[in-house]
Amino acid sequence: MIEIVHENSIPVSFGDCDPAGIVYYPNHFRWFDATFHALLFRFGTGHAAICAELGSIGLGLIDVGATFRSPAVDGDRLDLTVRIVEWNPKTVRLAYRGLIGARLVVEGFELRGVFIREGGRLRAGEVAPLRAILEAGAGRAAS
């Protein structure tokens, strides 16, 4: 299996924080999503182009979660890494790890699927074609 990993550096600003000055937790999920989409551009052609190639309406969330290990505040820089850790026939599992310096701030996951419309209904399609696109891109990036 080709390892697919992407790192994103996120500046934390006052607008990301709650009244106590600590990052408002939903922002971590927004940053997870932004990092996933950056991975799609790095190893593929971006969300819209990949979906068009797959005949999909989206690479959507099925499940998501996070554990907040320590606070991030205005002025911090969060280094967020996403790694594809598991491919299943209908899902792909991503693991996230966010650090400020050497301090662990957040760990999380997303379970995503390739959503297609069939017979007027939305359903999960096979992820093998998505895997092929991303692994081909990872192979090119490694060269």
Q: What CATH number does residue 108 fall under?
A: 3.10.129.10
Give the pLDDT confidence score for residue 1 in this predicted structure.
73
- Which phi and psi angles does 98 have, rounded to 5°? -115, 130
Q: Which residues contact 133 (CB under 8 A, 6 or more apart)?
A: 43, 44, 50, 53, 54
Q: State mean pLDDT over 124-143.
A: 91
How many domains are contained in the chain?
1
Contact 38, 6 (CB under 8 A): yes
Q: Say whether 134 sits in a helix, a strand or coil.
A: helix
Encoded tokens for 28: 């971590």
Which residues form the domain of 62? Answer: 5-142
Q: pLDDT tens, 97-131? A: 999 999 999 999 999 999 999 999 999 999 999 99
The answer to whether the beta carbons of residues 12 and 72 sit under 8 Å apart is yes
